Amino acid sequence: MAEAIQKPRNRRQNRNFILGSLSFGHGISHLYDQGFPVFMPAIQSAMGLSNFQVAFMLGIRQGGFGAVNLIGGAIVDQMKASWGPILIGCMIWAALGFLVLAASPNLFVLTIAVIIVSIPGALWHLPSTAALSRRFPDRRGFAISMHGFGSNVGNVLAPAVAGGLLMFMLWRHILLIYAVPAAVMAVFVWWSLRDLGKEDGDEGQESPQRNVVGAYREGLVMFKNPVVTTLVLAAAIRGVANNALFQWSPFYLKNATDGGLDMSYFAAGVHLSLLTGMGIVSAPILGYLSDRFGRKQVLVPGLAIAALLTLFVVSAGDSLMLAVLMGGVGLFSFALQQIILAALLDVVPKGTEATASGLIFGVNGFLGFGSPFIAAFIIENMGGYGAIFYYVGILTIVSAVIISVIPFPNYRLDKPDTA
């Protein structure tokens, strides 16, 4: 009987089970996050928002994402035993956030709701990335990419589901429905991940006693390492490009004004699924290749190809080639961000993984606050929504150049005996 009782606990501590559970939860999180941009044209139309008001909404969302990561990273590192409850809280918070978003009567309340909804998706990355980095030091690129693979499943489904539902339902009603699976996922996360962080294969080691202030200090010290500084910079520039791509592509596809293609919600959703979700194919492969041959050997050509494909999107117009190009860009959209994150985790000290993850996502979020306004200015003054793709392509090239000069370290490690 004792043996039968012990098995579930052992299974929940198995690193492959944890990877699968975290990836599944990450997918549900992105099912919400990447569905939100599809709702924005409908929200803009229903509430009469200008492009700069939309930019403000998008900027607030990114700013909230950044603040949670920068503030939360060091705290999460100090709360290892609470990683499970933190992930459970993310799902409960998401359910509540969508209820507030659906009931928003005006721009002020809508802005507050957007801030609320930005928190759980941001917070999820910190304990999950830290846990995977510790449990997969020998296959970090693959593990982080598989976690990203889960998000890409959500990325594929989110725009198509949101676009399909908008064909016959109001956006407020859809967001009310979205609260239900978030609540159900909280139960799944409680069952599978409630013990995350309590046993990490290092019970016999004495963990250093550090306070949160000390952890923040260590985070600042990380920037003395030029590899860390340049990786964070490259990730931030690439993140700003991705944010502009994902946030404004729905307007380019859906709207009939400012150079838009005037697609239906469903057609726009399908194209966005290609843009955000093709990492289902590429993420595990690129993660494995980065473990096998090196991070730079995957990142530089991947970013170069992504930039080239992005620059040709507008010339494709509303044709089959547009779907091919968006699918091609989608192969590298999220997958390369996961490898940049793995490269950063290769060089930071053990016990600071969440802090390091918070740096990448946090700086990205804070820069992302201003990015929508730059994008809105480009749209208004430089050729409409299509100009965004040239902006994204240029930023991606800059990121590739920065990464090409980073002296990446030797990160190869043996598989831990305790896994």
Q: What is the pLDDT along the chain (419 residues), one digit of tens a residue?
A: 344 444 444 556 677 788 877 877 777 777 667 677 777 788 888 888 787 788 787 777 777 777 777 777 777 777 777 788 888 888 888 788 778 888 888 878 888 888 887 777 777 777 887 787 777 877 777 777 777 777 767 767 777 777 788 887 887 888 788 778 777 888 888 887 777 766 544 444 444 445 556 666 666 667 677 888 888 888 888 888 888 888 788 888 887 677 778 888 788 878 888 887 777 778 788 888 888 888 888 899 999 999 999 999 888 888 889 989 988 898 887 788 878 888 887 877 777 777 777 777 777 777 767 777 888 888 888 878 888 899 999 999 999 999 988 877 655 544 444 44
Q: Which two tokens stand for residue 213?
A: 């202030």
The answer to whether the CB of 182 falls within 8 A of the CB of 95 is yes
The answer to whether the CB of 97 falls within 8 A of the CB of 116 is yes
Q: Look at domain 9-198+211-404 and name its CATH class.
A: mainly alpha
The answer to whether the CB of 402 falls within 8 A of the CB of 237 is yes
The predicted structure's pLDDT at residue 59: 77
The predicted structure's pLDDT at residue 207: 46
CB atoms within 10 A of CB 177: 12
The answer to whether the CB of 331 falls within 8 A of the CB of 344 is no
The predicted structure's pLDDT at residue 409: 65
Taking alpha carbons only, the member of 254, 293, 289 closest to residue 271 is 254
The predicted structure's pLDDT at residue 400: 92
Amino acid of residue 116: I
Amino acid of residue 200: D
pTM: 0.66
The answer to whether the CB of 326 falls within 8 A of the CB of 356 is no
The answer to whether the CB of 147 falls within 8 A of the CB of 124 is no
> Where are the chain's structural domains?
9-198+211-404
Taking the C-alpha atoms of residue 219 and residue 216, their distance in angstroms, rounded to an integer, is: 5
Residues 6+ apart with CB under 8 A from 181: 28, 31
The predicted structure's pLDDT at residue 301: 92
The answer to whether the CB of 291 falls within 8 A of the CB of 144 is no
CB atoms within 10 A of CB 112: 14
The answer to whether the CB of 39 falls within 8 A of the CB of 162 is yes
The predicted structure's pLDDT at residue 173: 83
What Cα–Cα distance (Å) separates residue 167 from each residue in 162, 163, 252, 257?
9, 7, 18, 20
What Cα–Cα distance (Å) separates residue 159 from each residue in 34, 147, 268, 270?
6, 20, 8, 7
